[in-house]
Amino acid sequence: MQTVTSADGTSIAFEQHGEGPPLVLLHGGSSPQYWKRIVPRFAEDYTVVIPHRRGVGESGDADEYRLDRGVEDIRAVIDSVDGTPVLFGHSFGGLLAIETARATSVENVIAYEPAVLIGDYREQATLAEQMQERINDGERREAMKFYISEVMHGGEIDDLDGWLAGWQPWPEIVALTENIARINRAIEQYRLPDSLDIDAPVLLLTGTEGPPHLQDGIRAVDAALSNSQFIEFEGVGHGGPAEAPDRVIPTVRAFVGETEMPVPESSN
């Protein structure tokens, strides 16, 4: 484990695996362990760098959190490694990847269902507030279950407890409840600009089983970019990279120029 100091003085930890050009993996509303199954698929060809989001894992924390604070953390990590990185982010990590690429030089950006809210959904979003109400009532587990239902299933799942019983991060992810509530507050405050000025090529990935509000968001991100590819995986949900790595990872590798792009189930 290595550490760097972010712009506000917070210590940010990051893991390194393998050897080669840097590939930075940015986790969403989960722990850095999200990428555990993905690391071996890249470590022979890349220096895989996994920052720990502030307040998670081995990173330090501060009282105030904003999206630009998260971008500063990622930039501090990027500045400490050799080479121009590829950024690969999932969910909130996808939003961080996009915003970091607006602020610093990167080779490529890959974002799986970046946490971007648009339109009426954004205007009416109260996920962070509803999580906080449950936290204040001492119901941290219920707050996390509410978050998972909304973000992983679009608020529509008949047997959440049954699904959670087979979901590997549960129940340990409950320890991140307060951290996840505050990143959702940052997500709800974010307003997608009409155009995203990113010099690097961008690959946007989604699954047909992902939550509708994130499917809407990623299409709006695609429309705001001038140099992007959009690919949708049939039958895959919000957990895409970890849920279906045999389908997602070959597409990522092809995008960064290693192999011929596989034919996806559907794409724009």
pLDDT tens digit sequence for 35-84:
998 999 999 999 999 999 999 999 999 988 999 999 999 999 999 999 99
Q: Is the pLDDT of residue 264 over 70?
A: no
On whether the pTM is more than 0.95, the answer is no
Task: Identify the three-state secondary structure at position 135.
Answer: helix
Q: Is the pLDDT of residue 204 over 60?
A: yes
What was the pLDDT predicted at 100?
97
Q: Is the pLDDT of residue 154 over 90?
A: no
Domain ranges in the chain are 2-118+191-267, 122-184
Q: Are 249 and 241 in contact (CB under 8 A)?
A: yes
pLDDT tens digit sequence for 229-240:
999 999 999 989
What was the pLDDT predicted at 152?
82
What was the pLDDT predicted at 169?
86
Could you give the residue ranges of the DSSP H alpha helices within 108-229?
119-124, 127-136, 140-153, 160-165, 177-189, 212-224
- Determine the average pLDDT of the residues in 85-94: 97
- Determine the average pLDDT of the residues in 129-156: 91
**Chosen CATH of 2-118+191-267 out of 3.40.50.1820, 3.30.70.1450, 3.40.50.970, 3.20.20.10:** 3.40.50.1820
The residue ranking higher by pLDDT, 136 or 268, is 136
- What is the Cβ-side half-sphere exposure of residue 200, based on CA atoms within 13 angstroms? 25
What was the pLDDT predicted at 107?
96
